[in-house]
Every structure is written in C-alpha cells, then in structure tokens.
C-alpha cells in the first residue's frame, strides 16, 4: 500500500498509461470528459456505499477497490486536463502521454 505522494502519483500515471493503451488517444469536448469522469466518480460512490454499509445487503466491501477507483478518477481527470490544454493550444494535434 502506498503512503507517499510519489507512490500515489506513480499509481495514477500507471493507470493513465493503461487507459491510453486501452482507448488510444482521445480528443473530446469537455462535456464528454465530464461524463466519463462522472461515471468513474460514480464507481467511487458505489465502493463507498459498500464499505459504509458492509452488511448482508452490501456484502462486497472492498477497500482496495475503493482505492483503485480513486486512482481511475485521477487518471481520467489527468487525461481530460491534458486534452483540454492540447485543444486550447494553437498546436491542436495529438501529443504523447
């Protein structure tokens, strides 16, 4: 388990690369990024509910899954930020990670 900023950032960058390899370069308007990010935040919410109500009706409490979803949120936010900056620049063409 990572407890230092560098470890957390490494996890986020690893996830960012994984997402890039899975989905490729994505040039999207802000509202589409918002929807993707919201979907990921919703998955964090689900894991929170499972942990909070770890009982017979919510038997899937998984703190590791909660952390994984947070990393995914951060990675998607990073992708959205990179794409926003790229779209705002005069060099509107795909860039690397």
Among the residue ranges 7-15, 18-26, 32-40, 85-93, the one whose residues contact Mg ion (CB under 5 A): 32-40
Only segment of 3-11, 12-20, 50-58, 61-69 that touches Mg ion (CB under 5 A): 61-69
Residue 11 in the binding site for Mg ion (CB under 5 A): no
Shortest Cβ distance from residue 21 to Mg ion (Å)?
16
DSSP-derived secondary structure for 12-76: HHHHHHHHHHHH------HHHHHHHHHHHHHHHHHHHHHHHT-STTS----HHHHHHHHHHHHHH
Contact 8, 65 (CB under 8 A): no
Q: Does 47 bind Mg ion (CB under 5 A)?
A: no
**40 contributes a contact to Mg ion by CB under 5 A:** yes
């Amino acid at each position: 388990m990572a407890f230092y900023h560098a470890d957390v950032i490494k996890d986020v960058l690893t996830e960012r690369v994984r997402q890039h390899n899975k989905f490729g370069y994505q040039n999207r308007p802000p509202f589409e990024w918002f929807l993707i990010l919201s979907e990921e935040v919703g998955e964090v919410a689900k894991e929170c509910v499972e942990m909070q109500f770890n009982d017979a009706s919510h038997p899937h409490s998984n703190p590791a899954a909660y952390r994984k979803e947070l990393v995914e949120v951060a990675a998607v936010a990073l992708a959205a930020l990179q794409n926003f900056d790229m779209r705002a620049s005069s060099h509107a063409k795909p860039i690397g990670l």
